Amino acid sequence: MAADKAKAAYANREAVSFYGSAIRVLERLPDTDENKRIRVDVYRSMNDPFHDLGYPRESLFVLRQGEELSRVLGDERSTAHFRMFLGAYHGLNGELLCARAHMRSPWKRP
């Protein structure tokens, strides 16, 4: 709740810090599907502050973790969101081919 409050106040560094604390607590809990889903939600919530901060270097690890966890859960919607977030990360960092590869739909037929 503190992270969401900080995010709403555009205190982006503080929000990222609170979300990071929540992730560390969730990682110590049993590795159930429900806890994984909550972690995915927290990872997704971290995207807005990361975006507002211009996707700092540490955001890459978090976004990759979220994508992988979404894929493990079979959550196609969240996986697509993380692919879009990763595409934005790479695009803002000038890695346009990598951005394009992430933003391309894995479910689209050739």
| 68-101 pLDDT, tens digit each | 999 999 999 999 999 999 999 999 888 888 888 8
Q: Count CB neighbours of 84 within 10 A.
A: 16
Termini Cα distance of the chain? 43
From CA 37, how far away is CA 95, in angstroms rounded? 30
Nearest-10 crossing angle of helices 96-103, 76-92: 170
What is the distance between the alpha carbons of residues 50 and 58, in angstroms, rounded to a whole number? 9
Q: In the chain, what are the domains?
A: 2-103 (1.25.40)
Q: pLDDT tens digit string along 2-59?
A: 999 999 998 999 999 999 999 999 999 999 999 999 999 999 999 999 999 999 989 9
1 burial type by CB count under 10 A (0-12 exposed, 13-18 middle, 19+ buried) = exposed
Would you say residue 109 has pLDDT above 90? Answer: no
Q: How confident is the model at residue 110 (pLDDT cuts 50, 70, 90)?
A: very low
Say what the pTM is: 0.86
